[in-house]
Copies of this chain bind each other. A is one copy, B any other.
Amino acid sequence: MAVFTPVTAADLAGFLMRYDVGSATSFKGIAEGVQNSNFLVETTRARFILTLYEDRVDIDDLPWFLALMTHLADKGLPVPRPVTDRDGVALQMLNGRPACMIEFVTGVSVSEPSPEHCHAMGAALGRLHAATTDFATPRANSLGVAAWPAMADRCDGRFAEIDTRLAAIISDGLAATRDWPPGLPSGAMHTDLFPDNVLFSGHGVTGLIDFYFACTDLRAYDYAVTHAAWCFSAAGDTHYPERAAALAAGYAETQGLSADEIAALPRLGEGAALRFTLTRAYDWINTPAGALVTRKDPMAFGRRLQWYARATPDMVLGNSDAPAAGLRR
């Protein structure tokens, strides 16, 4: 929520000369993201987001992220396009940091998505998955199923500082996700499509942004991440089946979920909830209580993890709100 690397108007003017975008008419640091420095740049021609990548992003991955965004923009997805300089280069250096100018997209994030928003989100997610079937280069998910045991170890047994139930929830989640569904279709994906990474105009998606956790993983896992992000109350204590049903209906507008993917949804949801529980727990333990950065409650995803552990595929799809008697997994 800050600008880490300052950029002056003189720095910007020199930088913009590499591009064919006109000269700056407005320039403001924006309080977006906790990883990078972001600026809203308005020129005589258009508006852009200028991002300087800070230490938390592995800069070796930046060309992959930018290539994926460009691929999706080329396919007509509502993804802001990385801007290339006069020589066709998107990834630059500025003030000692890797930097990129990206098209500005209008739209606002929703904090309490309606079913209409969830339908549009599901449709956009399906289009995104369909659009990456010919995106060949893989990038491993460094926060995926294989990484979760080590991520839990890095929290050094301090879960009780957050919540007395958390250690057991994570232990159960790790045990469950050792049984990870095999053979499901994979592809390049976002894996962090929380409402704050999606811009809307009315109920239409105008922008999918912040691709810096994108990777290659199971498509139905990305669906489960999106379900976890959009279909619960913020605290994770209430699941909204009408949102879940709308998400599924929107996703079904493209290839939709196969029977195998549907059967795997509760387990994939446990994994998605575990991933965010773990990263939030690590950040919580390593962020001073008085820091300017707001700590996100790990238990908000711990509660989701508990919900998925008891859920049926139909519940994740929003077709029922509770498991039928005797039919628990």
Which A residues are within 8 Å of any B CB, using their own CB?
1-3, 6, 8-10, 12, 24-32, 40, 42, 106-112, 199, 201, 291-294
Contacts and interface: CB of A to CB of B under 8 A. Distances in A.
B26 A30 contact: no
A9 B108 contact: yes
Contact of A2 (B9, B27, B31): B31
B29 A32 contact: yes
Nearest to A110: B9
A120 B29 CA distance: 25
Copies of this chain, tallied across the complex: 2
26 contacts: A1-B3, A1-B29, A1-B31, A2-B2, A2-B31, A9-B108, A10-B110, A10-B112, A12-B108, A25-B107, A25-B108, A26-B106, A26-B107, A26-B199, A27-B109, A28-B32, A28-B40, A29-B31, A30-B30, A30-B31, A31-B31, A40-B40, A42-B106, A291-B292, A292-B292, A292-B293
Nearest to A107: B26
Contacts of A111: 8-10
A314 B49 CA distance: 46
A1 B31 CA distance: 8
